[in-house]
Amino acid sequence: MSKLKEFGAVVSFKLNKQKTKILTKNMKPQEQRTLIEKTGFKIEKKLAQTECKDYSATCTTNDLFQIPYTYCKIGDITIGEISTQFDFLFETMSFNEHPKTKLGDELISMTKNYQHVCSLIFAVKQINENSKILPNVSLGFHIYDNYLSARMTHQNTLKLLSAQDRIVPNYNCDSKNHLIAVIGGFDSEISLHMATILSTYKILQIAYCVLAPAMNDKHNLPSFYRMVPSEAFQYRGIVHLLLHFQWVWAGIIASDDDKGEQFLLALLPMLFQHGICTALIKKTITLTDVLENMQSLQPLIDMTSSLINSSVNVFVVNGDQITMSCLKWMIYIYGTVGGHIQLSLGKMWIMTAHWDFSTETFHRDFDTYVFHGALSLAVRSNEVLGFREFLQQLNPNLPKGDEFIQIFWEQAFNCLFSDSNEDNEDSNTCTGQEKLENLPATLFEMRMTGQSYSIYNAAYAIAHALQKMLSSTTKLRPTMDHSRKGPPNLQHWQIHPFLRSISFNNTAGDLVAFDENQELAAGFDIINWVIFPNKSFLRVKVGSMDPQAFLGQRLTINEEAITWPSSFNQVVPVALCNDKCHRGYRRKKIEGKPFCCYSCVPCPDGKISDQTDMDGCFQCQEDQFPNQSRDKCLAKNINFLSFMETLGMILAFWALFFSLITIFVLGIFIKYKNTPIVKANNWYLTCSLLNSLLLCFLCSLLFIGQPQTLTCYLRQIAFGIIFSVAISCILAKTITVVLAFMATKPGSRMRKWVGKRLASSIVFSCSLIQAIICATWLCAAPPFPNFDMHSLAEEIILECNEGSDVMFYCVFGYLGFLAFVSFTVAFLARKLPDSFNEAKFITFSMFVFCSVWLSFIPSYLSTKGKYMVAVEIFSILASSSGLLGCIFFPKCYIIILRSDLNHKGQLIRKNI
């Protein structure tokens, strides 16, 4: 309960109470007492001056209910400013009486914004001291506050246009106080309130709000300029920043008002377009909601808990003052009243360029470390020489007409001046000797902030435009005397064409110019906020967003310079809906979930993914293949049957071995050619068959080794012709045996067919047909060396492409036909009554031959690469050795081991 009371005291803004002063004119004592009773405010009686003062005078008016905080210096030409220094709780306006501006009891000073006043004063001071800019013309200024109120913004904007006691716009006192331009406001809403009035009178307005007003149209607001880049660049910068770190699962925090809606409407489409999902969208509660829920803080704690305890690591925050103030209140409630530890938030904050790390006076105890490591966009600024020294010379005790400085001083240093209206015995006394550089940077900075830099540049832009206008047209170039009187015929609308085309380098060396949309032609800086335990901080520039750069170079980031939030252990935070898919996997969408949520599935066979989180897998190049993990492509090996590998050596060995056996058999037959068994087997056909078998064994060597054009030509052609000769010899042998048996019958006419001529004719004619087929093949589509990239996944097959599959199968078909005829004839003659009848051996040899080649066909078609070649070589060796063994082994057995059977009596033995 005590914490609730403590929190209620903080929310009611009792930390630093300041009553509002009210100026009046010739009020009677009874009227003063009546006003005090109604409002509770102390009234100071000050006579309004009816004439405009000289350059050193202070401008005042006598509007009864004017809030007194203003700062004015008279010059030949006046620059107005609507600043944001304080915040009031305004009473609800009723219409049962004459409208009056009624204030609540408390004033809140946004101490850091006092630098906005100082930057304009400093710029005007520099310009007046510079003889090269507006010589003989003095610049003055008139600064009002808007109190974050539409009513006060309209009222004080009208006062800038008025010079007498009452609000009478566009009426100047003796035409001596020329209002040429107005700088402001702090946010888009205030800027729009000002623009609706100033545009009516075509008075130049230069705003320093990052978000443009809702009527961002130079046709509707022709007098409106912005000393900041286009907000579209800011949104692009946020998107590029998220994409750079692959933060595609982010939350968004915005205020629950029109500005928050405008922010969401502009940012969300760009996020979706670039594949970034919004994990959640939180709208901060307003200050009114905080006050209404003081008695029941649990809803606020629950709202903040849902934000902090979510799995989302990265939040994009619309860093305007209302959103950040409410966010800090929510965190304060969660950490203080809810009893939680703020350091455990563990979130990565990305702030828009609205944000300038500031803490209102009632947030003194707020632990700023929750924003340690945050990134934000910022309007580009630079160090302005002399500004720090100017701030060090500020003294609230010097009567300079600055009505902001005393209340700023009291709330910044948490003290009271002796003449203060505040009664607080616990407060220290302000001496005026306090040092601004001793204040925490969250309350005040000695370095010119981004908003102050924009105001400083705006003042110089107005001065340069005036200089250009006064020096370009003799009609507008009056003669200035030593009394520093202003130009009598100067009209504020005449400055617009000169301001649009202005381009200059300011004192810090930065280029200042407007683009076609009357916005600053510049980009944004990426700032990393480093927070220290003593609540001091550093702005570290870690990158920039340059819209004028090439597309791939618009965002530059120095990741090594970034200090990440402590909860991430100095590692880049991860902002994903789920873990990334590793290499070798691809993303698969999950139905019913956002597109940033997906599952990971392995790449299919033959494809890889060599990066994380790939949408799809891709094929390797033709000469490469995926590794086992499917995350890399490896170079394919060349696949061909080589003499240097084991399989090639074995096949070559057997080819040579069977060739030697064939030569050995041929030698036996030559040596014993005069024996009866050799003579009975037709010496001519025997030698032809043995020679063709020898060549069959040797032609298998053509299939081993790297395919060349010549070897590709010879492989199948030599195989087809040589085997045709061998089968033809066997067919001739079989036919000769049959005819010889038939010729032994009395009166047979077959004797004339038995002889060498018939056998030669059969061999020649059968071989000639195969030779013609092979010649046609070579002429039409000859074989050629070829790289087969696709048959094997991990190897490139270096093969002999057959050129024409039809001719290839014709060669094999013809061989099959010859083999079938030979087998049929031999099978029919197997039972002839002759003890040395070759028909039985030929039948068995052709059976082996046909079996080998019939099994060859499926084996050949089911293998690839060198194994396909090996199958063909094996078939050649097996079929040839079958013919050699079945036909000639029995004869060699008789010739060598059973010579007793090698005589004529055995040959003429008759079948009983």
Q: 602: helix, coil or strand?
A: strand
Pairing of strands 375-379, 348-351: parallel
Which segments of 554-657 are extended strands (E)?
555-557, 585-589, 598-602, 607-608, 618-619, 624-626, 633-635, 637-639
| Cα 233 → chain centroid | 17
Phi, psi of 210, deg, nearest 5: -75, -40
Q: What is the mean pLDDT of residues 298-317?
A: 80
Tens of pLDDT, residues 151-162: 888 888 888 887
Distance CA 647, CA 642 (A): 8
Q: Are strands 314-317 and 348-351 parallel, antiparallel or unpaired?
A: parallel
Range 814-836 average pLDDT: 78
3-state secondary structure of 205: strand
pLDDT of residue 52: 37
Average pLDDT of the residues in 590-611? 89
Half-sphere exposure of residue 298: CA atoms within 13 angstroms, side-chain side: 1
DSSP β-bridge partners for residue 375:
350, 528
Per-residue confidence at 740, pLDDT binned at 50, 70, 90?
low
Superfamily of domain 72-228+396-431+449-481+495-513: Response regulator (3.40.50.2300)
User: Would you say residue 454 has pLDDT above 90?
Assistant: yes
Q: What is the mean pLDDT of residues 120-127?
A: 94
Average model confidence (pLDDT) for the chain? Answer: 79
Rounded Cα distance between 818 and 837, Å, is 21
What DSSP letter does each residue of 347-386 carry, written as one string?
A: -EEEE-TT------GGGTT--GGGGTT-EEEEE---PPTT
The Cα angle at residue 774 between residues 768 and 780, in degrees rounded to 5: 135
Q: Report the DSSP beta bridge partners of residue 205.
A: 182, 224
The reported pLDDT for the residue numbered 299 is 67
Reply yes or no on domain 646-907 having CATH 1.10.3720.10: no
pLDDT score recorded for residue 890: 82
Quote the CA–CA distance of 72 and 143 in Å, as a whole number.
6
Which distant-in-sequence residues (6+ apart) come within 8 Å of 362 by Cβ?
Answer: 10, 13, 15, 16, 108
Q: Considering only 218-227, 373-382, 544-553, which range has the smallest mean pLDDT? A: 544-553
pLDDT score at 651 = 93
State residue 911's pLDDT score: 40
| CA-based nearest residue to 39, from 126, 92, 105, 131 | 105
512-543 pLDDT, tens digit per residue, is: 999 888 889 888 999 999 988 777 788 899 99
- According to DSSP, the residues that pair with 103 across neighbouring strands are 90
Q: Which two tokens stand for residue 492?
A: 């504020």
Q: Give the whole-angstrom CA distance, residue 836 versus residue 680.
A: 8
Secondary structure in 3-state letters for 422-465? CCCCCCEECCCCCCHHHCCCCCCCCCCCHHHHHHHHHHHHHHHH
What counts of helices (H) and strands (E) characterise the chain? 23, 31
pLDDT classification of 746: cutoffs 50, 70, 90: low
Contact 600, 612 (CB under 8 A): no
Q: How far is CA 121 from CA 60, 180, 646, in A?
A: 18, 16, 94
> What confidence tens digit (pLDDT) does each residue in 172-209 have?
555 455 789 999 888 888 888 899 899 888 899 999 88
pLDDT tens digits, residue range 562-583? 999 888 887 888 888 888 889 9
For 479, which DSSP code?
Answer: P
CB 86 within 8 A of CB 321: no
Kindly provide the residue ranges of all beta strands, DSSP E only, lying in 632-777, ordered along the sequence: 633-635, 637-639
- C-alpha of 783 from chain center: 51
* CA proximity to 211, closest of 267, 288, 168: 267
**Band of pLDDT at residue 97, cut at 50, 70 and 90:** low
Check if the beta carbon of residue 741 is closer than 8 Å to that of residue 829. yes
342: helix, strand or coil: helix
CA 84 – CA 617 distance, rounded (Å): 56
In Å, what is the CA distance from 781 to each residue of 143, 474, 710, 787, 790? Answer: 96, 94, 14, 17, 22
Lowest mean pLDDT among 43-57, 692-706, 898-912: 43-57
- The token duo for 612 is 């994380």
Contact 193, 185 (CB under 8 A): yes
Measured in residues, the chain has a length of 912
Inter-residue contact 787 to 798 (CB < 8 Å): yes
**Same topology for domains 72-228+396-431+449-481+495-513 and 232-352+357-383+522-568, yes or no?**
yes
Q: Parse the chain into domains and list their residue ranges.
A: 72-228+396-431+449-481+495-513, 232-352+357-383+522-568, 585-635, 646-907
Q: What is the CA radius of gyration of the chain?
A: 52
Residue-level pLDDT at 316: 93
Q: Collapsing DSSP states into helix, strand and coil, what is residue 561? A: helix
d(CA 640, CA 644) in angstroms, rounded, equals: 11
Highest mean pLDDT among 451-460, 514-523, 744-753, 807-816: 451-460
Estimate to the nearest angstrom the gap between the alpha carbon of 803 and the chain centroid. Answer: 50
Q: Spell out the residues 6+ positions from residue 695 whose beta carbon is closer than 8 angstroms to its own.
A: 718, 722
- In this prediction, residues 146-169 reach a mean pLDDT of 79
pLDDT at 37: 39
Cα distance between residue 607 and residue 428, in whole Å: 75
Question: What pLDDT is stored for residue 107 in this prediction?
Answer: 62
Judged by DSSP in three states, 700 sits in: helix
239: pLDDT strictly greater than 90: yes
How does strand 103-109 pair with strand 86-90?
antiparallel
Q: How confident is the model at residue 32 (pLDDT cuts 50, 70, 90)?
A: very low
Contacts of 41 (CB under 8 A, 6+ apart): 19, 20, 21, 22, 35, 103
Identify which of 899, 888, 893, 896 has the alpha carbon closest to the alpha carbon of residue 658: 888
C-alpha to C-alpha distance for 544 and 830, rounded to whole angstroms: 98
Answer whether CATH 3.40.50.10800 is correct for domain 232-352+357-383+522-568.
Answer: no
Q: Using one digit for the tens of pLDDT, what is the confidence trace for 659-686?
A: 999 999 999 888 888 887 777 767 888 8
Higher pLDDT, residue 48 or 858? 858
pLDDT of residue 56: 37
Greater model confidence, 360 or 260: 260
Is the pLDDT score of 465 beyond 90?
A: yes
Q: Say which residue the tokens 């003194």 belong to.
A: 364
**Exposed, middle or buried: residue 32 (CB in 10 Å: 0-12, 13-18, 19+)?**
middle
> CB of 400 within 8 A of CB of 56?
no
Supply the angle between the helices 683-699 and 709-743 in degrees, to the nearest 10: 160
pLDDT-based confidence at residue 213 (cuts at 50, 70, 90): confident
Share of the chain above pLDDT 90, in %: 22
- pLDDT confidence of residue 340: 56
pLDDT tens digits, 407-429: 889 888 888 887 776 666 667 88
Q: Which residue has the higher pLDDT, 64 or 877?
A: 877
